[in-house]
A and B are shown apart, each in its own frame.
Chain A
Amino acid sequence: MGLLAMNEAVFSLQPEHWAALRLSFWVGLWAVLLGLPLALGAAWLLARRRFWGRPILDAMIHAPLVMPPVVTGYLLLVTFGRHGWLGWLDLDLAFRPAGAVLAALIMAFPLMVRPMRLSLETVDRGLEEAAQTLGDGPFTVFRRVTLPLIWPGVLVAAVLGFAKAMGEFGATITLVGNIPFETQTVPSAIYALLQVPGQERAVAVLVALSLGLSLGALALSELLARRARRA
């Protein structure tokens, strides 16, 4: 009975829904791969450096958390779109999968910066001094001492960033639209299905899959952080 229901549920998904699942996964992965190193740099600047413009950087990183996502998407559109003020770069991100990665990255960025910044702030600077006196330059100290010590924070940032990027909706749909097989992610597919009556089963399946992925990512981050702390 349960098996039959699952079978039926899976068959209620159309090919474009599978495409949306694949795209969401790739968006999440690329947003983390590209965003995590940048977020680490930003976290380091915010945690370690006192410079002019630091509050501005801080505010810009956190702005997507408090702005309506549609506004973030709109700002990206007027920045990176064909007629945007960075349009001359010819990145052509609007209505492209790459645009979905950008929108997701921007939205997930503060969630990636925060855990790494908190980890950096708890690192005993004395250990970095000790490594210096043992002959390591700044980059080597970071690689051999700082990074291993903030590793749990980096893992948490990656998992949170992945989950957030996969589920991003408002900024994504504003920047890249909702084109099946091209720019449609899981959330925008759910949104599209809700516009048409009689698609409740497909909606339920996609919602269940999203929930499972998000909660799974949260559980994974908790597990990784706990294991890293014990090691």
Chain B
Amino acid sequence: MLEVSLQHRFDNFALDAAFEAPSGVTVLFGPSGSGKTTVLRAVAGLLQTDQMTVRLAGEALDGQPAHARGIGYVFQDARLFQHLSVAQNLSYARRGDGRGMNRIVELLDLGPLLNRAPHALSGGEAQRVAIGRALLSAPRLLCMDEPLASLDSALKARILPYLERLRDEVEVPILYVSHDVHEVARLATTLVVLQHGSVRHSGPLEMIMADPCAVRDLGVRAAGAVLRLQVGARADGLTELANDGVRLVLPDVAAAQGAWIRLRVAAQDIILATERPRGLSALNVLEGVVTTLVPGRGPGIAVGVRVGQTDLVARITAASAERMGLAPGMAVWAIVKATAFDPAGVGT
């Protein structure tokens, strides 16, 4: 468990943030300029703030210099030492005992790179080496500052599985900065939403993403429930996914039957109806009950819908909500077009 509380004043920006991060991946999410990186640097000891408390597993880390905190850091740019080979970069940290080397090399597929020079690596390769180097320093906490931001989407898609393996196979808690909702949906176990230097929401990923109150702070495009679904039968190129009263069919999910996957259902891709729709081409129509209605800043309104034991969130216009007479407790049908599912949001 990591507990963070810090305050810092810049020339025209004040940061006042407090949150808790249990094990797993805690993502600091927010637009650029919201203070995510500042928080991360302060936690790692790379930035001195006016007031700060950082406790890791009950031990106070503030007051210790960065090199004594035992916190690994993966920067946006890989920052490999150019005067050393890849292998020397990996074994740079002396507090690591090197025993995990084989495991990390295998986990991140670094074998073919070991004897190369850092300047001969591609961006994605360099970033993998940087992740391995941080892990091999035997960190008690791993900070990752948008490690995929400098990569194109094809490379991102190749590295994301490595990060998922990291989350599932390495016992080190990870604090991860991102402004990309696809990364959040795939990696996060806990979500901390930052805006203008303060924490707007924090808690388990599924809870925050399905909370109509969070839609405004996540941004209309980013908002949308993340569901954990089990892969079922496959027929006619369509795969059935189900959990907790939700049953969806999706074209070609590349996961084995019985596997659990995450699926992000974007709030703006849900259409609501007050009657069971007929003669509709959409395959996925879920019957549920309206839980809450939260007006947004603009013409929109966020509607919480409970389907079985699963919460979804839809974003419609306030005018429609009024015309439909939506109110908590009302039965509604949520229509989701299969192609509206975010393919990047499909992850293990």
Contacts and interface: CB of A to CB of B under 8 A. Distances in A.
A5 to B, nearest CB: 48
Contacts of A126: 75, 77, 79
A213 B92 CA distance: 41
Residue among A124, A135, A137, A145 facing the most chain B CB atoms (10 A cut-off): A135
Contacts of A137: 65, 67-68
Binding site of B, secondary structure by majority: helix, strand, loop or mixed?
loop
B57 to A, nearest CB: 18
A149 interface: yes
Nearest to B142: A133
B133 A134 contact: yes
B65 A134 contact: no
A200 B57 CA distance: 83
A127 interface: yes
Interface in B243-266: none
Contacts of B46: 129, 132-133
A145 B133 CA distance: 15
A132 B67 contact: yes
A136 interface: yes
A148 interface: yes
Contacts of A141: 67
A150 to B, nearest CB: 10
B81 A135 contact: no
B66 A133 contact: yes
A136 to B, nearest CB: 6
Interface residues of B, number: 25
A130 interface: yes
Contact of B72 (A124, A133, A148, A149): A133
Contacts of A129: 46, 66, 73, 75, 79
Given A129-B75, A133-B134, 20 more contacts: A124-B79, A126-B75, A126-B77, A127-B82, A129-B66, A130-B75, A131-B81, A132-B65, A133-B46, A133-B66, A133-B67, A133-B71, A133-B137, A134-B92, A134-B93, A134-B133, A134-B134, A135-B70, A137-B67, A137-B68
B95 interface: yes
B94 interface: yes
Nearest to A151: B83
B303 interface: no
Nearest to B73: A133
B75 A134 contact: no
Interface in B179-225: none
Residue among A126, A132, A134, A149 facing the most chain B CB atoms (10 A cut-off): A134
Contacts of B45: 132
Contacts of A148: 83
B285 interface: no
Interface in A101-145: 124, 126-127, 129-137, 141, 144-145
A43 B141 CA distance: 36
Contacts of B79: 124, 126-127, 129-130
A149 B72 CA distance: 23
A49 B280 CA distance: 70
Contacts of B94: 135-136
Contacts of B332: none
Given A132-B66, A133-B46, A137-B65, A145 B73 contact: no
A162 B26 CA distance: 56
B44 interface: yes
A144 to B, nearest CB: 8
Contacts of A145: 81
Contacts of B77: 126
Kindly list the 8 A-B residue pairs having the minimum CB-CB distance in the complex, ordered from nearest.
A133-B73, A134-B93, A130-B79, A135-B95, A148-B83, A132-B66, A134-B137, A132-B67
Contacts of A133: 44, 46, 66-67, 71-73, 134, 137, 143
A176 B70 CA distance: 56
B83 A130 contact: no
A127 B82 CA distance: 9
B280 to A, nearest CB: 54
A144 B68 CA distance: 17
A114 to B, nearest CB: 22
A149 B93 CA distance: 18
A230 to B, nearest CB: 12
B81 A127 contact: yes
